[in-house]
Structure 1
Amino acid sequence: MTSIIPDITKRTSIGAQRNPASEEAILTAAAEILSEGGLSAFSIEAVARRAKAGKPTIYRWWPSKAALLLDVYHRQKGETFYPDTGSTRGDLIAFLETLLGFWTKSGGEVFRSIIAEAQSDPAALEALRDYAVTRCRASGIILERGVARGEIQADLDIPLVMELFSSFCWQRLLTGRLDASREQLSHLVDAVLTGFATQNRHAQ
């Protein structure tokens, strides 16, 4: 059985309400520029020219290049799937494999650029922070299913723990090590689920 969770991470409109036709034209133009020329060719000016839209309109709806890139990234990623394998362990391994796999095939370069933009642009940082928070909440369905099965303790801070797993993926992305093996991912998941302190941890 596969659980399909709607992608709730898309930023809400800033300023005037977006015109659906103009929004589609802008996002399509942005995706085409990325596909044809890569990140080096991507700019608000280039998107505005291709979409025949004004730069003020784009900046009203996407306050930074990174915010626009995030929406393009969402479209590339498509609907978010959190497979239900029947166990929390299996679900977490599948989650890690799927995310690292997507970044390896297509989305990694774009997401690295978004992170890089966020280091010097406050608007980009806000967009990335919003994305990170909502993504950890959405992926929390994995651990919520574990609570329902009786596999996970009910008082767990689920978004915080999912941030731990996401942080592993982000670090791998930023250091160019997306080729984590299933054995490594299984080891990571087992360490978090079972703990890795000895039984004498409370002795002191």
Structure 2
Amino acid sequence: MSDVVETTPARRSIGATRNPDSEAAILAAAEAVLLESGLNGFSIEAVAKRARAGKPTIYRWWPSQAALLLDVYHSRKRVNFIYPDTGTIRGDLRAYLSGLLTTWREGTSGEVFRCVVAKAQAEPAALAALSAYMSDRRCQSGKIIEKAQARGEVRADVKPELITELLSSFAWGRLLTERLDVPEDEIDAIVDTVLSGIALKPVA
């Protein structure tokens, strides 16, 4: 830990409402502790010490380690990942899958997310937090299909969330086995295979 961190006064909590500066400091500290110490060395105590924040504040804002790690992950993903709107379903799905793989491959978000998934295998609270987070993400990504249905590119009976979950599940498999360098032709093949089953007409 640097001298600057050690001599910085502890940040003051303002109760249940999150102080933006304190929130940013805690998220940064959580990411640093995870990457330096690994999942086994990660603890709220270590995060609080590094962030110069109180443990009660952290637990008030994040009820579990998994909830905190998911916020770390989402804060990093939000910076690097934008849901695409290219004007065509093929372009959108391709950009979605490619963007997800790139986001996990570059920076720290992939490693953070792997840790969240690992915790969810053994901790019910972590599994609940991950499940809730992924439900929200499926809803958001499903809008890609909804827009395509509105444009007349995708059949009306197709369930939007299931289609983007197919693509994200492929990305999950590559993330968990550290095979995120997916060639462009494989991304094209995956997207085209999905489109062959849902498109109203041939997609160029």
Length-normalised TM-score, structure 2: 0.79
**Inter-CA distance 92–103: structure 2 relative to 1 (3 Å threshold):** same
Q: Which residue of 1 aligns with 2:16?
A: 17
The answer as to whether partners of 1:63 and 1:123 remain within 8 angstroms in 2 is: no
The answer as to whether partners of 2:31 and 2:112 remain within 8 angstroms in 1 is: no
Return the alpha-carbon distance in structure 2 between the equivalents of residues 83 and 182 of structure 1.
17
Q: What amino acid does structure 2 have at the position aligned with 1:57?
A: T
Q: Deviations over 1:55-100 (max 9, x none)?
A: 2332232222121111111111225412222210111011111110
Return the alpha-carbon distance in structure 2 between the equivalents of residues 193 and 60 of structure 1.
45
Q: What amino acid does structure 1 have at the position aligned with 2:119?
A: E
Structure 1: gaps of 5 or more residues: 1-15, 197-204
Return the alpha-carbon distance in structure 2 between the equivalents of residues 98 and 143 of structure 1.
16
Q: What amino acid does structure 2 have at the position aligned with 1:25?
A: A
The answer as to whether partners of 2:18 and 2:61 remain within 8 angstroms in 1 is: no
> Which structure is richer in relative contact order (CA contacts within 8 A, separation 6 or more)?
1
The answer as to whether partners of 2:33 and 2:42 remain within 8 angstroms in 1 is: yes
Of 135, 160, 169, the match for 1:167:
169
Sequence identity of aligned pairs in percent? 54
Q: Which residue of 1 aligns with 2:96?
A: 95
Q: What amino acid does structure 1 have at the position aligned with 2:42?
A: F
Q: Which residue of 2 aligns with 1:82?
A: 83
Superposed, 1:42-61 pairs within 5 Å as: 42-61=42-61
Return the alpha-carbon distance in structure 2 between the equivalents of residues 89 and 179 of structure 1.
20
Counting matched residue pairs gives 180
The answer as to whether partners of 2:89 and 2:144 remain within 8 angstroms in 1 is: yes
Return the alpha-carbon distance in structure 1 between the equivalents of residues 163 and 17 of structure 2.
35
Length-normalised TM-score, structure 1: 0.79
Return the alpha-carbon distance in structure 2 between the equivalents of residues 98 and 24 of structure 1.
25
Q: Which residue of 1 aligns with 2:136?
A: 134
